[in-house]
């Protein structure tokens, strides 16, 4: 088991149960504590109640989307927390989609199907650069 994300809490947001469980497994194998949500409302409720070290979220989330979530997270960060790294994991693979996500406030963009190691490495790098993990 890798310990790249040891003792970090990661909020996983995806409306697809299989993807949530895959991400949960991969992140837990890397030492993270994982909290999962299937909707923007559930995710933001969890985020407000017990802020995670980082978030990984799909962009298409049923009736809402990851853009609503990132907007709420960034507003809350500005008011209460400082900074939370947020990674988009999505089936939208165009350059325009990536640019839109990054402009909206996501810190990284990973397309599906994803390489589990890339997810872990990306989160670890973001946490390190945000000062949330020792180098």
More confident residue, 65 or 13: 13
- Contact of 33 with 60, CB cutoff 8 Å: no
Strands 86-90 and 33-37: unpaired
Residues 100-114 pLDDT 10s: 999 999 999 999 999
Q: Which range among 10-14, 25-29, 30-34, 126-130 shows the weakest confidence by mean pLDDT?
A: 126-130
Is the sign of the CA dihedral 73, 104, 99, 107 positive or negative?
Answer: negative
Range 107-133 average pLDDT: 90
Query: Could you tell me the domains of the chain?
Result: 9-127 (3.40.50.2300)
% residues pLDDT > 90 (the chain): 77
**Mean of the per-residue pLDDT values of the chain:** 91
| C-alpha angle 28-1-46 in degrees, rounded to nearest 5 | 10
Residues 30-79 pLDDT 10s: 999 999 999 999 999 999 999 999 999 999 887 888 999 999 999 998 88
Give this prediction's pTM. Answer: 0.91
Helix orientation angle between 66-76 and 95-104, rounded to the nearest 10 degrees = 30
CA distances from residue 9 to 3, 47, 127 in whole angstroms, order as listed: 13, 11, 11
With b meaning 16 or more CB within 10 Å and e meaning fewer, what string describes 18-44? ebbebbbebbeebbbebbbbbbbbebb
């Amino acid at each position: 088991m890798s310990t790249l994300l040891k003792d970090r809490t990661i909020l996983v947001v995806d409306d697809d149960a299989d993807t949530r469980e895959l991400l949960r497994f991969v992140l837990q194998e890397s030492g993270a504590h994982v909290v999962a949500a299937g909707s923007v409302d559930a995710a933001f409720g969890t985020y407000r109640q017990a802020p995670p070290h980082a978030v990984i979220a799909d962009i298409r989330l049923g009736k809402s989307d990851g853009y609503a979530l990132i907007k709420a997270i960034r507003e809350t960060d500005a008011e209460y927390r400082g900074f939370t790294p947020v990674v988009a994991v999505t089936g939208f693979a165009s350059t325009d989609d990536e640019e839109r996500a990054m402009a909206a406030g996501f810190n990284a963009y990973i397309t599906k199907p994803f390489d589990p190691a890339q997810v872990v490495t990306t989160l670890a790098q973001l946490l390190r650069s945000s000062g949330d993990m020792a180098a």
